[in-house]
Amino acid sequence: MSGAWRIVARRTGGPEVLEREDIALPVPGPGEARVRHEAVGVNFIDTYHRGGLYPLPLPTGLGTEAAGIVEAVGEGADPTWVGRRVAYVAQAPGTYATHGLAPVARLFPLPDAVSAETAAALLLKGLTAWMLVERCARVQPGQSVLVHAAAGGVGSVLVPWLKAAGATVIAHAGSAAKAARARDSGADHALHLPFDQLAGEVRALTLGRGVDAVLDGVGADSWAASLASVAKRGILVTYGNASGPVPAISPLDLLRAGSIFLTRPTLFDYIETADDRRAGGQRLFGLIADGTIRADIGQRFALAAAADAHRALEARTTTGSTILVP
């Protein structure tokens, strides 16, 4: 027995398809490191993988990020990595495990002040916020931005990031308590409204103009409100499907919305090159170091209870980040 194990899905379905499975200790291939996980980040994408919205060959591991200690490296990798504290975003799901393999080129060394739990809470979500604010919407000081699910994992990083960028932040969340959290994290306006009333309120807050950017990870349910909230020539960034995928649209919808820009990014395309990972990592760890971004770990689950983490995330009962501890 290696003592190593993982969470596996042998079929797609609800959280009950997640099972624990003993595995051999992973052996790093050329250029790879084996990381002993100390904390694993839970992301909404993990539910898309489990449920089949994003199809994967089965059986499959789950999980797209983890933090821990490098235990071993493969041929050609710098041996001084061994013993270092790192975090990584996996290229293929499988970080819900005691150990994982990653190319050393994709490891983010952790500053002393950043714990494994903080890294697992913030790496993927923080890089996503960087992508959305600085690479997609390219938010400028004085602009206004609408953020949905503003007390969630990505949302609770976006709010302070946008404030640091000099934006006016209109936060929207699914309950009054979540809206209050978004206000506490710096939102200028924190709303808890039915989606069919949201655009009217956004227009009222922006003197009829609408916002320069909408950052929308909710998807199907928020789509119409998002489209109706963007200012002329503003940008709508739809980056997730928490309530289901956005329906098909026509380019003419963008004309009718005021000649707006639309993008549907995935983080994986924005951290493909070493330069991008360095740039994103520097920005994120810089904002963690200066206190702009703090880990808001709303929930911790044992790794073996990953199914419970999925239930909570899908039931909208979580706030901030959710992590699993092996």
Largest Cα separation within the chain, whole Å, is: 65
Residue 276 lies near ligand NDP (rule: CB under 6 A): no
- Residues numbered 77 to 106 that lie near ligand NDP (CB under 6 A) are none
In this chain, which stretch among 75-83, 215-223, 228-236, 286-294 interacts with ligand NDP, using CB under 6 A?
215-223
Amino acid at 227: L
In the bound state with ligand NDP, the residue whose beta carbon lies nearer, of 36 and 316, is 316
Amino acid at 152: G
d(CA 182, CA 158): 10
In this chain, which stretch among 1-9, 183-191, 236-244, 304-312 interacts with ligand NDP, using CB under 6 A?
236-244
d(CA 285, CA 282): 5
Report the sign of the C-alpha dihedral through residues 278, 281, 285, 286, in that order: positive
Residue 218 lies near ligand NDP (rule: CB under 6 A): yes
Which of 43, 60, 168, 229: binder of ligand NDP (CB under 6 A)? 43
In the bound state with ligand NDP, the residue whose beta carbon lies nearer, of 294 and 316, is 316
d(CA 307, CA 279): 34
Site string for ligand NDP, 287-316 (x = CB under 6 A): --------------------------xx-x
In the bound state with ligand NDP, the residue whose beta carbon lies nearer, of 49 and 99, is 49
d(CA 8, CA 314): 19
In the bound state with ligand NDP, the residue whose beta carbon lies nearer, of 94 and 217, is 217
Residue 64 lies near ligand NDP (rule: CB under 6 A): no
Which of 28, 155, 160, 326: binder of ligand NDP (CB under 6 A)? 155
In this chain, which stretch among 234-242, 250-258, 278-286, 302-310 interacts with ligand NDP, using CB under 6 A?
234-242
- Residues numbered 241 to 260 that lie near ligand NDP (CB under 6 A) are 241-243
Which of 152, 210, 281, 326: binder of ligand NDP (CB under 6 A)? 152
Backbone φ, ψ for residue 312 (5° rounding):
-65, -45
Give 83-134 as a DSSP string. Answer: T-EEEEE-SSS--SBSEEEEEGGG-EEPPTTS-HHHHHHHHHHHHHHHIIII
Please check whether residue 106 is in contact with residue 126, taking contact to mean a CB–CB distance below 8 angstroms: no
Calculate helix-pair angle for 176-184, 155-164, nearest 10 degrees: 40
Q: What count of Cα atoms within 13 Å lies in the side-chain half-sphere of residue 93? A: 23
Residue 45 lies near ligand NDP (rule: CB under 6 A): yes
SS3 content of the chain, % helix, strand, coil (to 5): 35, 25, 35
Tokens of 4: 């190593």
Q: Please work out the total of residues on this chain that contact ligand NDP, with binding judged by CB under 6 A.
A: 30
* Interface residues toward ligand NDP, by CB under 6 A: 43-45, 124-125, 128, 149, 151-155, 173-174, 178, 217-218, 221, 239-243, 265-267, 313-314, 316, 318
